[in-house]
Amino acid sequence: MAERSIYQPGESVLHRLNPVTTFVLAACLSVVVFVVPDYRLPLGLSIVLLALVFVARVHRLVLRLVAALAIPFAFFLLLIHGVLNPGPQAEPLVTIGPVTVWEAGFETARLIFLRILVLILSFLLFATTSQPQRMRVALMEKGVPNKLAYVFIASLQIIPEMRTRAKSIADAQQARGLDIHADIRTRTGSIVALMAPLLIGTLIAANTRALALDARGFDASGERTFLYDVPDTGGERLLRYAAVVAVFGALAWRLLP
Amino acid sequence: MSSTEAKTTAKRDVGFVERFRESVGEDFTITTWVLIPIGIGINAIGGFIASTLKLPLFLDNIGTMLIGILAGPWAAMLTGGFANVIQAMLGNPVQLAFLPVPVAIGFVTGVLARRGWFDSPKKVVVPALVLTVVATLIATPIVVLVFGGVTSSGTSLVTATLVATGRSLVESAASAQLMVEFVDKGGSAFVAYFIGRSVPTRYLPPQGQDIYS
């Protein structure tokens, strides 16, 4: 059974990194850009991250997802901050017909947009280059309880399964007369008609799963051995510490007078 | 303070921590561990159901609420938090910033369920309102501070309209959030209650069997 995250198989440097490292880096970068109130930092980081997206050869998927997430976001930011909310010192930046973009608002929008772009890029990079099974092993080697690791992997497995099941349930219920073009009250009531069979079906499958887990020693304690070997080099450890130090450095710089 | 006194206080603290840990541990039976991924799956499917029925809702916390009703606050917090991380792994990292919202929803649903507020459809009105308020209170600061008031297109449209009428950004974002959460979280609470009720009780963990018996 395959886990379907947005992982893209590959051989790049980023694919070889320990998934814990990429995750820590993504989280720390995202925090740092929100602490530092200067748009040039997230701008620089976005360029570096974009370059890494191409290095990892995950650009086709990542750029498509970034476009889907960032374009509407940029539009509303510009609308709410740049056009509608000119702020106290209203200096017009550009005027196109009846629409004026204000300078202060544009600067706010630019900073927020670049911060979110760093967040999106770094986590997409993490998700596309970290194979779920490797991540599970890496997490357990870091002392994450195997039950949490199970939840993580099982969720990734169960979502595509449930999606297929939900589609066939939707078809089946429509064949029985469920009307997806009815008025809004009827449609709201139909949520339960679609979700209940999905839940019951999955629960019955889950009972089997619980038995299987029990048989495989889910509750067993003691040392486990893994099929995969996920290396964690000293350099990577250093990189992680550096990222955490950067977060505290940024916080101290921001908070101390 | 004498040393014996200090010792008794220390002992009482340990007792409290132990009891807390035990009560959390009791919630996590093997059924619960198997239910959590299902809850996460239901969260992920909510959006699909909403779009099939062409409803303007997210419905992305039904699974978290369901686990709250069936297995209690701790399991539901875990479900909510994990669901968020999983969404990021599936291509929507923006949700990560909202991590505290589903965690709080899980906790509140679980506590209310334990206090008997999910015993009958009429009572669910209370959790529906409480969850709306909790979600708004936690989501609004995140929306304003992290996203500059902008989230999904629908909510942003409401925010933009309110800003255009001269209201402040915080006020507009909070009102837009409240409207969206009222429909979405309020509706989700009822959906979670009804789909939980449709499951044969023998498939439910102890708390769920209590509530739906």
Render pLDDT for A201-232 as a digit per residue (tens, 0 to 9).
888 887 787 788 778 777 777 777 777 778 88
More confident residue, B106 or B4: B106
- What's the length of chain A? 257
| Chain B CB within 8 Å of residue A202 CB | yes
**A191 pLDDT more than 60:** yes
What are A158-174's pLDDT values in tens digits?
A: 888 898 999 999 999 99
Tell me the nearest-neighbour CA distance from A28 into chain B, angstroms.
13
Answer with the residue of higher pLDDT: B11 or B125. B125
pLDDT at B148 over 50: yes
Binary contact (A65, B91; C-beta < 8 A) = yes
List, for residues A84-107, the tens digit of each pLDDT value.
876 665 677 777 777 788 888 888
- The reported pLDDT for the residue numbered A1 is 42
Residue B90 pLDDT grade (very low, low, confident, very high; cuts 50, 70, 90)? confident
Question: Which of B42, B150, B169 to mutate: most A Cβ within 10 Å?
Answer: B150
Confidence band of B1 (pLDDT split at 50, 70, 90): very low
Binding-face residues of B in 148-187 toward A, CB within 8 A: 148-150, 153, 156-157, 159-160, 163-164, 169, 187
Least confident piece of the model among A126-140, A163-177, A231-245, B9-23: B9-23
> How far away is chain A from the Cα of B108, in angstroms, using its nearest Cα?
22
On the question of pLDDT at B34 being above 50, the answer is yes
CB contact (8 A) between residue A112 and residue B147:
yes
Burial B69-81 (b: 16+ CB within 10 A, else e): bbbbbbbbbbbbb
Least CB–CB distance from A170: residue in B52, B148, B187: B52
**Residues A34-69 as b or e (16 or more Cβ within 10 Å = b):** bbbeebebbbebbeebbebbeebbbbebbeebbeeb
Lowest pLDDT segment from A29-33, A68-72, A186-190: A186-190
Between chains, do B83 and A195 touch, taking CB under 8 Å as contact? no
Given a cut of 60, is residue B8 above it in pLDDT? no
Interface test mutation site (partner B, options A28, A34, A76, max chain B beta carbons within 10 A): A76
Q: How far is A47 from chain B (nearest CA, A)?
A: 18
Categorize the per-residue pLDDT at A54 as very low, low, confident or very high, splitting at 50, 70 and 90: very high
Is residue B127's pLDDT more than 80?
yes
* pTM of the full structure: 0.86
Highest mean pLDDT out of A84-98, A112-126, A145-159: A112-126
Q: What is the pLDDT of residue A200?
A: 87
Percent of chain B surpassing pLDDT 70? 92
List all residues 6 or more positions away from A193 whose beta carbon is below 8 Å from its beta carbon.
A173, A178
Read off the pLDDT of each residue in B6-30 and give the average, rounded to a whole number.
70
Average pLDDT, chain A: 87
Chain A residues within an 8 Å CB radius of B50 = 191
**Mean of the per-residue pLDDT values of chain B:** 86
Query: Which residues in A lie closer than 8 A to residue B53 (C-beta atoms)?
Result: 180, 187-188, 190-191, 194
B14 touching chain A per CB within 8 A? no
Preferred mutation among A191, A202, A218 to probe B, highest tally of B CBs within 10 A: A191
pLDDT at A119: 94
